[in-house]
């Protein structure tokens, strides 16, 4: 079913891209855009994950360079019955994370340095379990391709806006050409964003539920979501602000809400997500949060912002942090 949804998404985004091409160059522009879209779809299938990781300057870590973070992912992957994904860290002060890859055998998870510093070990486990849930549900292919093609549509609209500022296309079809250009500038990125919203909102709830069951502690993830939401609005993610089409990939919307691209959220309300996790915790007999038995290693003061987690202590001793 996820492959069918991915095909439908590609069809919609390709149609938007072709329509923009038609508005720019008529029938010739439509044909060129269609050929370009086909090539982009093929390229995105095989390389969109690498593109996103490079976009955020992520670097791979292993058991030697980041033993605790890597160990969390390894244990959770075993619990989820998944192949061990590649593990990355991106250098960003904003706590956040995402997963990418075309299938579970070629997947990767990525956490920011800010997340590893700000969250406790159990909260990091909750976040990574959520990302592994996206991999287990085969969400990452759709989400990553949407980011790549949505970004291309946004760039095309920006090109058209630049051309309109300098009087482009006026000689082609007079006022109609200018109206078409203005429509493409406004409608194309908006339509692409609406498609991304459609694939993101429902999937986040499902990934929260599956991730909570993978780690066995819904309140670990609930506490992490509350902290990340709090930090995300105060600490900008510069790479995400420059590439808002990738925002739906993150566990919490990384955009600060200062630009036009943030008028439409790609994520469901965080309070609603936390409420759903609290209800799941009660169903699992955990009304007060994590218990002493059955967890991933030691306990933590979940929900306590004064608990910086084990990484922050090492960070104070070594400026490079545990990820090298």
User: Distance between CA atoms of 71 and 67, rounded to whole angstroms?
Assistant: 6
Tell whether residue 204 is among the known ligand binding residues.
yes
| DSSP string for residues in 215-238 | HS-HHHHHHHHHHHHHHHTTS--H
Q: Is 244 helix (H, G, I), strand (E, B) or coil?
A: helix
Question: Which tokens go with 90?
Answer: 């991106």
Tell whether residue 233 is among the known ligand binding residues.
no
User: Distance between CA atoms of 235 and 96, rounded to whole angstroms?
Assistant: 11
Q: Which of 234, 248, 271 is nearest to 143 (CA)?
A: 248
Contact 210, 216 (CB under 8 A): no
Residue 255's contacts (CB-CB under 8 Å, 6 or more residues apart) are 237, 240, 241, 244, 247, 261, 262
Pairing label, strands 97-101, 86-90: unpaired
Say which of 131, 171, 238, 241 is annotated catalytic.
131
Number of residues written out for the chain: 324
Query: Strand 97-101's sheet: what is its strand order?
Result: 59-61, 86-90, 107-112, 97-101
Q: Which of 244, 7, 235 is nearest to 142 (CA)?
A: 7
- CB-CB neighbours of 229 under 10 Å: 19
Question: Which tokens go with 89?
Answer: 């860290």
Question: Which tokens go with 293?
Answer: 């038995």
Q: Clarify whether 131 is annotated catalytic.
A: yes
Active site residues: 131
As annotated, the binding site includes 130, 134, 204
As annotated, the binding site for Zn(2+) includes 130, 134, 204
């Amino acid at each position: 079913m996820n492959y069918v949804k991915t095909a439908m998404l590609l069809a919609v985004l390709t149609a938007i891209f072709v329509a923009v091409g038609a508005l720019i160059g008529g029938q010739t522009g439509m044909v060129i855009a269609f050929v370009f879209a086909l090539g982009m779809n093929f390229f995105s299938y095989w390389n969109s994950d690498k593109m996103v990781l490079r976009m955020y300057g992520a670097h791979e870590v292993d058991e030697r360079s980041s033993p605790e973070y890597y160990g969390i992912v390894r244990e959770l992957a075993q619990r989820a019955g998944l192949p061990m994904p590649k593990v990355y860290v991106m250098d960003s002060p904003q706590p956040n994370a995402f997963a990418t890859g075309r299938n579970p055998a070629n997947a990767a998870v990525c956490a920011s340095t800010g997340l590893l510093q700000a969250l406790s070990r159990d909260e990091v486990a909750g976040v990574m379990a959520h990302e592994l849930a996206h991999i287990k549900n085969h969400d990452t292919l759709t989400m990553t391709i949407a980011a790549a093609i949505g970004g291309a549509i946004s760039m095309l609209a920006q090109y058209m806006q630049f051309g309109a500022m300098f009087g482009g296309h006026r000689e082609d079809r007079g006022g109609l050409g200018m109206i078409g250009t203005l429509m493409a500038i406004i409608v194309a990125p908006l339509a692409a964003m609406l498609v991304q919203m459609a694939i993101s909102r429902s999937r986040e709830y499902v990934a929260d539920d599956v991730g909570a069951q993978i780690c066995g502690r819904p309140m670990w993830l609930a506490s992490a979501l509350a902290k990340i939401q709090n930090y995300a609005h105060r600490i900008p993610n510069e790479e995400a602000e420059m590439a808002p089409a990738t925002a739906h990939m993150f566990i919490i919307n990384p955009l600060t809400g200062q630009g036009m691209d943030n008028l439409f959220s790609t994520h469901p309300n965080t309070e609603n997500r936390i409420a759903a996790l609290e209800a799941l915790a009660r169903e699992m007999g955990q009304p007060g949060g994590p218990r002493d038995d059955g967890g991933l290693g030691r306990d933590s003061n979940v929900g306590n912002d004064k608990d910086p987690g084990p990484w922050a202590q090492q960070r104070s001793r070594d400026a490079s942090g545990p990820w090298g």
